[in-house]
Structure formats: C-alpha cells, structure tokens
Chain A
Amino acid sequence: MLRSKRARKTVFAIFWYIVLGITAVAVMLPYIWMLSTSLKGSDEVFAYPPNWIPRTWRFQNYVEAWNAAPFGRYFLNSAVVALAVTIGQLITCSLAAFAFARMEFKGKDVIFALFLSTTMISTQVTLVPSYLVLKTLRWLDTYQALIVPFLANAFGVFMMRQYFMTLPRELEDAAKLDGCGRLRFLWQVLLPLSKPIVASQALFAFMGNWNSYLWPLIVTTSEHMRTLQIGLRYFVSQEGGTQWGIFMAATVFVSVPIVLFYLFVQKSFVEGIATTGLKGA
C-alpha cells in the first residue's frame, strides 16, 4: 500500500516536471528567437523555413546596431535617470516614512490619507497637465523632466513606514540620551536596520524607471535625450522595419543587462513583490 502510494507520487512528480518544463521552454522561446535572429545575416533572416540556429553567426549585427543609433547615449540617459530617481525616492520616502512612523504632529492622519490617495491617480490621468507644467517651467527635453516628477512615491513611503514601525521604540530613547538628532538617528540607526525594505524599494524604483515608456516618450523631443526604451522604438520604426537581424541585436543589448541584473537580485525582488503585492495599500 505504502509503496504503491509512493510510486504514484513519483509518477505524478515526473508528470508535473514535464508540464512545468514545457511551459518554461515556451516562455523562453521568444528570447531564444531574439538571440537567434540577432546573429543572422539578412539572407537567413528572410529564409523560409526559418532556422533556430543560424548557419553562420554574424556578430557584426551588434556592431552595426550599436553604431546605427546613439545607443551609448541612450544607455547613459537611462542610467542617469533611473539612478537619480532611485536615490531621490529613497531620500524623500525615508524622510516622510520617518515622520509618519515616529513623530506626532497635527494633521498627520489627513496628510497620510492624502499621500495614500496619490496611488489611485495614475500617470495616464495627469499626463496632459504634468506635461504643461514642464512646458511652463521650460523643462521639456531635460533630465529634470525625466527625474523630478518621480521623486515622491506614496507606496514607498507606506512600505517604509510599516517597516520603521516594527523597529523597537527604545532605540530612539537611547539615541536621544546620546544627543543624537532625528536626521542622524534616521540615517545612522534606522536605515541600516531597514536594509531589506530599502533594497526592495530601490529595486522597484530602478526597474520601474528603467523600463518606463509613456512619460519619456512625451517629454523628450531631441534624439540625445531619449532613454533606451524610446531609442529602441524609434530605431526600429525609422529603419523601415526590414533589418530584423540588427533590430534583434539592439533588442538584446536593451533587454539583457536588466535580465542579468535581475538574476543577481531576484530573491529580494520576488520577496518584495510577494509581500507588497499582497499586503500593500
């Protein structure tokens, strides 16, 4: 009886592995197709039936793609913007979270409710006026336009506040006795104790900004201010839509760095989504 039950379990396990394996391969196929096409010359790109493995590997596609548009500049723009937004958000969020978690002041509940209400208002809804604000400030097509609107994040404030509230109150009393001010206490005591939440907030901010599309599309007008995502789109649409080997090479160097980055940090990222996605807001 016991043996047959164990045998049945093994059979099921093998079956489930096969199901999971097939879906995993299916999920990976578009990436493999991208890599494969990125190494093909135009004769092979347009060949029917298509090969999954190119007969001759044409690495020249990558060089040509890199030189056909200012991708170096796009990378720089994306990196500057994503880093500035990430660091800026960590500063504004931790300051606000500290006030909500550790201080008593008039109007606290009202302000907190107002902060939370911003999560209900999406960029799409405020797109036109935000654009007009930047136009009035003469900030269109500048780094400020890509960075400043994203320097506050209510969700980040909420998550950090929740974390700060779990840290013991006695820390503060000890710090006060030592004559440590609030800012120094936040910077030297609270933040180092909150590494997990700081890390996942930083990741969300960085990835979200790196991948963003609609906002950089409308606030950048000149080629040298485009971010990587916008640059890729214009590259593909301007070349007339035929150079697929080169397009795929460009897509590889746009998408692969963030995938590699993710593989290094995936644990805290996935945990972050699992906790914030469920218990957030």
Chain B
Amino acid sequence: MTALARQRGNWWHRWGEETLSAYLFLLPSIVIFATFVFFPLFFSFYASLTHWNLPFKPSFTGLENYHYLFTDEIGAPEFFRSIRNSFYYALGVPLNMGISLAIAVLLNQRLRGVSLFRTAYFLPTITSTAAISVIWLWIYHPADYGLLNSILLKLGFSPLRWLRDPHLAMPALILMGIWHGMGYNIVIFLAGLQSIPTTLYEAAEIDGAGGWARFWKITWPLLGPTTFYVLVIGIINSLKAFTQMHVMTEGGPLGATTTITYYLYQQAFENFAMGRASAVACVLFVILFILTLIQFKVVGSRIHYE
C-alpha cells in the first residue's frame, strides 16, 4: 500500500505534475485560440447555413446562401466579380517579384552603402496601409493638379480619372501595392541570395560564365523555393487586402475594386447579412487553405534541402 502510494507519488512527481504545469503554461494561448480562432471557424460553417440578418435571429436554410453566391441571377455575378477582382489584384505579385528580385540582386553585389538603399526601399513596407492609401489618394487625384496627372500633362498626354475610372482603378491599386510591398520581397530575396555559397559563383567565373549565365544557371534555380514562397505569400496577402479598397475606392467605381474580402465586409457590416457573409468567409477560407498548404509543402521541401 505504501509502496503503491509511493509509486503513485513518483508518477505524479515525474509525469502528472509536468503535464499539469505544461497545460497551465499553454492555457492562456489555448483560451484565446479557442475563442477567437477555432470557435469562430466552426461557427462560420454553421452560420453560412442560416439566413441571419442582424438584429434578427438566425434561421437554418441549408445551402441557400451558397446557391445565392454561385447560381443566383444577382448574387452570382457579384460574387464571381469579387473573386475575379481579387485575382486581378494578385497579378501585381509577379510584377512586384520581378522588380524586387532585380533590386535584390543588385543589392547583393556587396557595394558600399547598400544598407542605405535597403532602408529606403523598406520604408513603404513599415508605413501603415491607411497612411499610404491617403498619400496615393492624393497622388491619383483626378484633377489636373493631381501629381500623376500633372506629370502626364507635362509629357503631352491627357489627364486620367485614375481611381474614378472603372478600368484604371485596379491597375492604380496594383501600382501602389508594388510600391508598398517591394521592401518585404527585397529583404526575403536578399536573405535567399546570401544563402547561396559564393564558391559556386567563383567556380562559374573561372569557367568563364558571364553575369547573365551565372544568374540563370546558379541564382535562379537555387532561389527557386524562396521565389515560390514569396509568390504564394504575395497571393495570400493580395486576397486578404482590404485597407486600400476601404480608404481609396470603397470597392468602386462600379464594383471594380470590390475584392472578395471587401465583398465579405460589405455583406457583414453594411448589409448585416451575417449568414451570407459567413458563406463568403467559408469560400475564402477554402481558397486560403489550399494556398497555405502549397506554401507549407514548399517550405517543408526547402528545409530538407538544407
């Protein structure tokens, strides 16, 4: 009896106490994740199956919200346009990557004063999207005295309506997005470039490979996982973009910048259609989930390389 008690005490001492303390250490995080991540996620699935307009109570309607989004005469074109707009906005990602990679390669040449340039390129990334949106709202001002229009006029072109033109609003947001996100990409690319052993370049130089050949034969293949990572993260962030649309265009003109995240916001916080908004959230979740899985796979394979 005493032996058993001692054994139990021993067990308690060795495992029970440690397990209990570990869970106490995890408790704060678990409570927050349960309340603001896992519960909301499952609740979204449920709410997407209800008709629920605040301040009224939800009523179960099955797949009606999804029918509205995917097949309704009014709902479906709006919803598909928001998905199209989101991926249109994401077209800025490869452009951004091309510019960022070129700059990163230049910065990686160990020139003097490079850190000064890097600081300059990085400033937009740490400035808040709200502040940047206000600055560019002014740059894109449709009058003649708007900065871009005044440049156009000086070059002999006619001024443009920029954010008020349904065809130009999204390209304008993409251009601003490139300016905004370049710094982050440059830092990631630089880290990738610096992990490539210099001996490879030295060997290639001895073999007589020029700068161009060295880039395509060494840099580009070895940078592959980094490039892919930047691409997927960039697309994910584009799909989540909201601030610039809210500050600069409010989804307009004529819905030209209503992306899926903005559409979700409109349904939930302008129309108070919580059920329909939850259905949009579930679709967004699936899209982001697939992209994140791809990213994890690639990052995982990269760790195997090293």
Interface pair A23/B121, CB less than 8 Å apart: yes
- Name 25 interchain pairs, CB-CB below 8 A, sorted by A: A16-B111, A20-B107, A23-B103, A34-B138, A46-B143, A95-B25, A121-B285, A125-B281, A128-B277, A128-B281, A132-B43, A151-B32, A152-B28, A152-B32, A154-B29, A157-B29, A211-B130, A218-B268, A251-B135, A255-B131, A273-B184, A277-B187, A277-B229, A278-B191, A281-B299
CB-CB contacts below 8 Å: A12-67 with B: 13, 16-17, 19-21, 23-24, 27-28, 30-31, 33-34, 37, 45-50
A273-B188 contact given A33-B138, A103-B22, A213-B243, CB 8 Å threshold: yes
SS class, residues of chain B in contact with chain A = helix
- Interface residues of A, count at CB 8 A: 93
Contacts of B103 in A (CB 8 A): 20, 23
- Complex-state Cα separation, A114 to B33, whole angstroms: 9
B145 to A45, Cβ gap below 8 A? yes
Which segment, of B34-42, B71-79, B165-173, B196-204, faces chain A? B34-42
Q: Contact between A129 and B44 (Cβ–Cβ < 8 Å)? A: yes
A238 at interface by CB-CB < 8 Å: no
Q: Interface size on B (CB < 8 Å)?
A: 96
User: Residue B150 at the A interface, CB < 8 A?
Assistant: yes
Take A20-B117, A213-B130 as given contacts and tell me if A126 and B37 are in contact as well, using a CB distance cutoff of 8 Å.
yes
Q: Do B106 and A16 touch (CB < 8 A)?
A: yes
* C-alpha spacing A273/B103, complex, angstroms: 17
Q: Which of B18, B243, B285 contacts A105 (CB 8 A)?
A: B18
Q: How far is the CB of A252 from chain B (nearest CB, A)?
A: 9
Q: Contacts A114-B33, A125-B281, A213-B242 known; A133 to B187 CB distance under 8 Å?
A: no
On whether the beta carbons of B135 and A248 are closer than 8 Å, the reply is: yes
Least Cβ–Cβ distance between B37 and chain A, in angstroms: 5
Q: Which residues of B contact A115 (CB under 8 A)?
A: 29, 33
Within the complex, the shortest CB–CB distance from A247 to chain B, in Å, comes to 6
User: CA of A157 to CA of B29 in the docked complex: distance in angstroms?
Assistant: 9
> Taking the complex as formed, is B278 at the interface, i.e. its CB lies under 8 A from any CB of chain A?
yes
Q: Which residues of A contact B133 (CB under 8 A)?
A: 233
Interface SS majority for chain A? helix
Q: A33, B147: Cβ atoms under 8 Å?
A: yes
**Cα distance A255–B132 in the bound complex, in angstroms:** 8
CA distance A124 to B261 in the complex (A): 7
Find residues 245-281 in chain A having any chain B CB closer than 8 Å to their own CB. 247-248, 251, 254-255, 258-259, 262-263, 266, 269-270, 273-275, 277-281
Q: Is the CB of B246 within 8 A of A233?
A: yes
Stretch at the interface among B87-95, B214-222, B288-296: B288-296
Contact A232-B22, Cβ < 8 Å, known A24-B117, A125-B285, A263-B119 = no
The answer to whether B289 and A211 have CB atoms under 8 Å apart is no
Tell me how far the C-beta of A205 lies from the nearest C-beta in chain B, rounded to whole angstroms.
14
CB distance from B207 to the nearest CB of A (A): 16
- Answer yes or no: B2 CB below 8 A from chain A CBs: no
Residue A182 lies at the interface, judged by CB distance under 8 Å to chain B: yes
Q: Which residue of A lies closest to B225 (CB)?
A: A278
Distance between Cα atoms of A157 and B122 in the complex (Å) = 26
**In contact, A34 and B32 (Cβ under 8 angstroms):** no
B206 within 8 A of A: no
